[in-house]
Amino acid sequence: MSVDNNQGELWEVFIQSKNNLPYKHVGSVHATDKEMALQNARDLYTRRGEGRGIWVVPSQYIVASDPQENAEFFDPSEDKIYRHPTFYVMPEGSKNI
Amino acid sequence: MTEEQLEKNFQDRIDAEQKIEPREWMPEKYRKHLIRQISQHAHSEVIGMQPEGNWITRAPSMRAKMVLMAKVQDEAGHGLYLYSACETLGINRDELVEQLHTGKAKYASIFNYPTLNWADMGAVGWLVDGAAIVNQVSLQRTSYGPYARGMVKICKEESFHQRQGYEIIAAMAKGTPQQKEMAQDALNRFWWPSLMMFGPHDSDSPNSGNAIKWKIKRESNDVLRQRFIDKTIQQAELIGLTVPDEDLKWNEERQSYDWGEIDWDEFYEVINGNGLANRQRVAQHKKAHDQGAWVREAAKAYAVKQKNKEVLV
Ligand SMILES: [Fe+2]
Ligand SMILES: [Fe+2]
């Protein structure tokens, strides 16, 4: 089906709920430009003070890893236990380390 | 991996209570089932704005008007969260709206009942949102990630909806004899349709096999309906209203209410388009959508103009 009602492009919305917290993906909105995307995101996702910062990004610019390739893609970190502090042997009785 | 292995991995993940995310492999039937269910849910939120929007201009006080507007605005938001979840499955907004207009997609039949007076604003918030909450709380654990997260957000917002409705109907039940009669009448008209919101009995529910296996649906229609009844009776009694069911009786052994039978002929009549307001609801949505076409065109033209400017500087 190829209906086009000019409902705008899809934008992904990220919200920072409090100062010093990372931005988190909350969903998406439709908009024809950046300003509209921001305002729509505000009206839709922060009606009750859920946010103190909003990012909107056109969905087409999100680059995502392919879940089907998770095994190979994340494999390089699987066997490197020496990247974790528990790998190391500390002298008996050592403190604050 | 063969189709069979993929399907087995998929089911294993579902059984392990993992959430399925948009770009992950899923059986085609799972995707279809979700598109149908989530879009129907989205359309219900949006069409559900009409029976209440109908009373905004006639709200009896400024406070009541502000509350009702906030509530109707929330329902628009719920519709949009759900359209956004649905779009992650590879269908676009235009198609979804088109399906609503052609009747290919359905919405909850409760919204095909008219709202005749202010007491109905109480009954809708208390019973219709109340029933929706029972269903949506259960769906917070649905297996598709974006749908589950949408439900969590929606549930946070719904409790105000039910409380504002109960406040309205409780105030009327405590008012003049005529007001109390209106409250009782609203309960009489909305009780059974609210119970119908949970759908057919489990024994007559053809789609639920896969939905339960794939954990799209977490609890059965009858279980959810009974939970709603058990929660609501006390609230009716407290404000001196009577639930219109002669067979309603506390069952000590089951610690639950026994109750009468739904008029299933009415249920199917309304689903098949012959409710009191079916035609009006879709026509109204189509009219608003068509009348807004010039705004969308103008916004698009504006965006093109802005882009051209960027190129120049
Ligand atoms: Fe809602
Ligand atoms: Fe609601």
Q: pLDDT by residue for chain B (313 residues), tens digit each?
A: 899 999 999 999 999 999 999 999 999 999 999 999 999 999 999 999 999 999 999 999 999 999 999 999 999 999 999 999 999 999 999 999 999 999 999 999 999 999 999 999 999 999 999 999 999 999 999 999 999 999 999 999 998 999 999 999 999 999 999 999 999 999 999 999 999 999 999 988 866 789 999 999 999 999 999 999 999 999 999 999 999 999 999 999 999 999 999 999 999 999 888 888 999 999 999 999 999 999 999 999 999 998 888 776 6
pLDDT at B121 (0 to 100):
98
Residues B171 and B119: their CA atoms lie apart, in Å, by: 10
Q: Are B142 and B215 in contact (CB under 8 A)?
A: yes
Instruction: Report percent pLDDT > 70 for chain A.
Output: 97
Contact B93 A64 (CB under 8 A): no
pLDDT at residue A1, as a whole number: 41
For the record, the structure tokens of B131 come out as: 């029933």
| Cβ-based contacts under 8 A for chains A and B | 64
Report the residue of chain B nearest A66, measured CA to CA: B23
Q: Are strands B249-251 and A24-31 parallel, antiparallel or unpaired?
A: unpaired
Which stretches within B145-176 are classed as H helix? 145-173
Q: List, for residues A29-52, the tens digit of each pLDDT value.
A: 999 999 999 999 999 999 999 999
Res. A2: pLDDT tops 60 = no
**Scanning the structure block, which residue is given the tokens 């969260």?**
B81
More confident residue, B291 or A68: B291
B114 CB-contact burial (10 Å; exposed 0-12 / middle 13-18 / buried 19+):
middle
Q: How far apart are CA B200 and CA B21, in angstroms?
A: 30
Whose tokens are 């939120």? That residue is B45
Q: Please give the C-alpha separations between residue B245 and each of B128, B192, B248, in angstroms, as whole numbers.
A: 17, 9, 5
Beta strands in B50-196 (DSSP E): none
Place of tokens 């439709």: A30
- Reported as a single tens digit per residue, the pLDDT across B99-135 is 999 999 999 999 999 999 999 999 999 999 999 999 9
Among residues of chain B, what percentage have pLDDT more than 70?
Answer: 99
Least CB-CB distance to A32: which of B23, B95, B300? Answer: B300
Say what the pLDDT of residue B313 is. Answer: 60
| Contact by Cβ (8 Å): B209, B220 | no
- pLDDT given at position B207: 66
Q: Six-digit token pair at B202?
A: 């489990």
Q: Is the CB of residue B256 less than 8 Å from the CB of residue B226? A: yes
What gap in Å lies between CA A8 and CA B100, rounded to an integer?
Answer: 19
B296:A6 CB<8 A? yes
Cβ contacts of B302 on chain A, cutoff 8 Å: 32-33
Q: How far is A89 from chain B (nearest CA, A)?
A: 36
Name every chain A residue with its beta carbon within 8 A of the beta carbon of B289.
Answer: 5
Nearest-Cα residue of chain A relative to residue B79: A44
Q: How far apart are CA B250 and CA B258, in angstroms?
A: 6
| Confidence category of residue A78, pLDDT binned at 50, 70, 90 | confident
Quote the tokens at residue B132: 């929706």
Q: Could you tell me which of B138, B135, B105 has the C-alpha nearest to residue B32?
A: B105
Rounded to a whole number, what is the distance in Å from the CA of B150 to chain A's nearest CA? 8
Write the pLDDT tens digit of every residue in B215-256: 999 999 999 999 999 999 999 999 999 999 999 999 999 999
Query: In whole angstroms, what is the distance from residue B111 CA to residue B218 CA?
Result: 24
Residue with tokens 């704005």: B49
Locus of tokens 């579902």: B14
Distance CA A23, CA A19 (A): 10
Q: Count Cβ neighbours within 10 Å for each residue of A76-85 and write b for 16 or more, e otherwise.
A: eeeeeeeeee
Question: Helix (H, G, I), strand (E, B), or coil: what is residue B132?
Answer: helix
The values of phi and psi at residue A10, to 5°, are -90, 135
| Residue type present at position B54 | N
